[in-house]
Amino acid sequence: MEDQIIDGILHRQIRHAQNDASTARRDARESQTAIQELEEQVGRLTLVCTALWSLLKQRLNLSDTELVAIIEEVDLRDGRRDGKHRPGGHACTSCGRTNSVRHRFCIYCEEPLDVPPLP
């Protein structure tokens, strides 16, 4: 009798482990598909950005140095130099520091920010 109880418990644990493994395989396949889609999007965006920069450089006689400078400027608009674009920050007209769009007053100098009201 005791052996049957132990066998039942072991079989149940095996079924749970098999279900967990099956779920993990499905999740891994879904993640791989999502990664492939993101890689394709990044590839297309890289192509478009490269083509746009080539066109601007040619037509407007711009330099790579000018591009790097504007990239750094845009990167700092959110107050962080992190290589990411996070739109929505507002520079304080008094102290020049960047504030979140949620704020109506500068969190650094407490001056009112010149931002449109939220909808």
Report yes or no on whether pTM surpasses 0.75. no
From the centroid of its chain, how far is CA 104? 26
pLDDT at 104: 86
Place of tokens 């746009």: 52
Would you say how long the chain is, in residues?
119
Q: Summarize pLDDT for 60-74 with one digit per residue, the tens.
A: 999 999 999 999 988
Compute CA 83 distance to the chain's CA centroid, rounded to the nearest angstrom: 11
What is the percentage of the chain residues whose pLDDT exceeds 70?
95
d(CA 58, CA 71) in angstroms, rounded, equals: 18
Check: CB of residue 75 under 8 Å from CB of residue 81: yes
**Domain-by-domain residue ranges, the chain?**
2-62
